[in-house]
Amino acid sequence: MHSFEKIAELLITTVLFFLIPLQYAGAKADVVGRTYVMTETAYLVEAVRTTGRLSGQMYQEYLKRLGATGQVYDVKIIHYEKLLNETEEGYQTYYHGIYTEDILEALFSEEGSYVFSPGDFFRIEVCAVGPSLAERFSLFLRAGAKENGVQVIYGGRIRNEAG
């Protein structure tokens, strides 16, 4: 019975002194990663809102910066094009959605950029494809309790202040 107590003490000590601090440090690293992804996404969206265009170079640079986190992300780009419909009472405003595939096609065509009109809406959604190292470690400690990865949604109305 004495040896069982020693083994239990050793396991509890290992968990308290090593595994818990490692999980805490990993969680802090995830917070830093989420903040970084949010900052880079906000920077790109604000540049697009201000200039009224998204270039292939801007998008590639954004993906490169996201890649610096060591995570793989699914990035969705959405453009809500503002359209007017003339009715008997006047004009009715509605929005038509243009999604990632069409926008990327324009970005990597001969033109090399995608142009927005003032009043349009632009949004980027970023989701982590797989768990981070800290999330995997947390899954191990919590016996499979799934956590959501990085998810950032940022967007706004196009101002086109560049002219």
Starting at the edge strand found earlier in the chain, the sheet holding 121-128 runs: 90-99, 73-87, 121-128, 151-157
Counting Cα atoms < 13 Å in the Cβ hemisphere of 135 gives 16
The pLDDT score that the predictor gives to residue 29 is: 82
* Digit-coded pLDDT (tens) for 116-150: 999 999 999 999 888 776 666 666 666 555 556 66
pTM greater than 0.85 (yes/no):
no
The pLDDT score that the predictor gives to residue 148 is: 60
The pLDDT score that the predictor gives to residue 142 is: 62
Using the structure block, give the residue that is written with the tokens 């419909």: 85
The pLDDT score that the predictor gives to residue 9 is: 82
The pLDDT score that the predictor gives to residue 30 is: 84
Q: What is the mean pLDDT of the chain?
A: 86
The pLDDT score that the predictor gives to residue 133 is: 67
The pLDDT score that the predictor gives to residue 64 is: 96
Region 71-93: what's the mean pLDDT?
A: 91
* Digit-coded pLDDT (tens) for 84-100: 888 888 888 889 999 99
Compute how many other C-beta atoms are within 10 angstroms of the C-beta atom of residue 44: 23
User: In this structure, what token pair is assigned to residue 58?
Assistant: 């801007």
Q: Indicate if the pLDDT at residue 5 is higher than 90.
A: no
